[in-house]
Chains A and B, each alone.
Chain A
Amino acid sequence: KQEVTQIPAALSVPEGENLVLNCSFTDSAIYNLQWFRQDPGKGLTSLLLIQSSQREQTSGRLNASLDKSSGRSTLYIAASQPGDSATYLCAVGKDFGNEKLTFGTGTRLTIIP
Chain B
Amino acid sequence: DGGITQSPKYLFRKEGQNVTLSCEQNLNHDAMYWYRQDPGQGLRLIYYSQIVNDFQKGDIAEGYSVSREKKESFPLTVTSAQKNPTAFYLCASSIPLAHEQFFGPGTRLTVL
The chain A residues found within 8 Å of chain B, CB to CB, are: 4, 31-32, 34, 36, 41-46, 49, 89, 91, 93, 96-97, 99-106
Contact = CB atoms under 8 A, between A and B. Distances in A.
A4 B99 contact: no
B42 A93 contact: no
B31 A99 contact: yes
B103 A89 contact: no
A31 B41 CA distance: 23
A49 B106 CA distance: 22
Interface string B91-110: 01010110111111110100
The range of chain B's interface size is 20 to 34
B43 to A, nearest CB: 4
Nearest to B31: A99
B42 A99 contact: no
Contacts of A106: 42
Interface of B: 4, 6, 31, 33, 40-45, 48, 50, 58-59, 88, 90, 92, 94, 96-97, 99-106, 108
A104 B37 CA distance: 11
B26 to A, nearest CB: 16
A102 B43 CA distance: 8
Given A49-B99, A99-B50, A105-B42, 11 more contacts: A31-B99, A44-B103, A45-B103, A91-B101, A99-B48, A99-B97, A99-B99, A103-B42, A103-B43, A104-B42, A105-B41
B42 A100 contact: no
B24 to A, nearest CB: 14
Contacts of A41: 88, 106, 108
Contacts of B94: 99
